[in-house]
Structure 1
């Protein structure tokens, strides 16, 4: 399924794509998706405590391929069919868990991330899932506050499922301190 979304509300003075299509990612796009994630990570150069992320590892090709095979890796394309962003997710029980969302640095600020989230939420609803979850940085403006504006709520430690606790623990083992991270959940309306 391809969703064609007109781009409106672009930042003043920035010319973004006229429209963005969201569709399932293809196997031949894996390296393009990895480049997009590397480009998106450049925003972390501005945050001293997390600047190392700009040169860190990105999602593996193996994981991209696995999620493409499961139908839970979507790409945002512009200018024809040129990938400019992606959202990788996995189904975990009754929830869709966002593993990674990245928008190419030059295409940030045009609502592409919001559109990818909306697409993932729609997919979760179509699959009859209960919620969409993710983990992110607590204080970085384009992370936790961004997701809160989209309806996600930050989970307290007591509200974490064993799965989300394990995700946060795994992230901590890879250098993302637990006190800088949070898990978030968007409960989907029951049908």
Structure 2
């Protein structure tokens, strides 16, 4: 299913693509998606403690390909079907877990990320999954506070499933201090 969504709520003084189509990613777009993630990570240069993320590794081509095969890697394509953002997710423990969401830095601030998340929520509902989950930074404005505005709930340590607890531990092993990260959940079906 392809969803045509006109952009709304574009900030004054900003011009973005006139239309964004949210669709499944294609295998021939994997390198473009990796470039989008590198571009999106440039926003971390503005935060000294996390500036190293701007030059860090991006999701592997193999991981993208696996999620494309599962039908859980979505692209935001601007005019002319050119990818400007993506959301990669996987189905785990009856939930859709967002592994990565990235929007090219030139296309940020136009509601594209919100549209990708809406597609993930719709996909989870269509598959009869219980929730959409993710892990993110607690205090960065375009992370936890953003997802809270979209209806995600920050999970306390006691509320973490073993899967989410393990993900946070793995992130800590890769340099993302556990006290800077959190797991979030948006309930779809109980």
TM-score range, shorter chain: over 0.9
CA deviation string 1:157-183 (max 9, x = no partner): 010000001100111111111000000
Which residue number in structure 2 is paired with residue 42 of structure 1? 42
Which residue number in structure 2 is paired with residue 12 of structure 1? 12
Which residue number in structure 2 is paired with residue 55 of structure 1? 55
Which residue number in structure 2 is paired with residue 2 of structure 1? 2
Partner of 2:32: helix, strand, or coil? Answer: helix
Task: Provide the C-alpha distance between the structure 2 equivalents of 1:142 and 1:172, rounded to a whole number of angstroms.
Answer: 20
Deviation at 1:189, TM superposition (A): 4.1
Task: Provide the C-alpha distance between the structure 1 equivalents of 2:189 and 2:94, rounded to a whole number of angstroms.
Answer: 13
The TM-score normalised by the length of structure 2 is 0.99
The TM-score normalised by the length of structure 1 is 0.98
Which residue number in structure 1 is paired with residue 80 of structure 2? 80
Structure 1 unaligned residues grouped into runs of 5+: none
Partner of 1:99: helix, strand, or coil? Answer: strand
Structure 1 residue 123 corresponds to structure 2 residue 123: yes
Aligned residues: 190
- Root mean square deviation of aligned Cα: 0.6
Structure 1 residue 164 corresponds to structure 2 residue 158: no
CA deviation string 1:96-155 (max 9, x = no partner): 000000000000000000000000000000000000000000000000000000000000
Contact 2:96 2:133 in 1 (8 A): yes
Moved over 4 A (4+): none
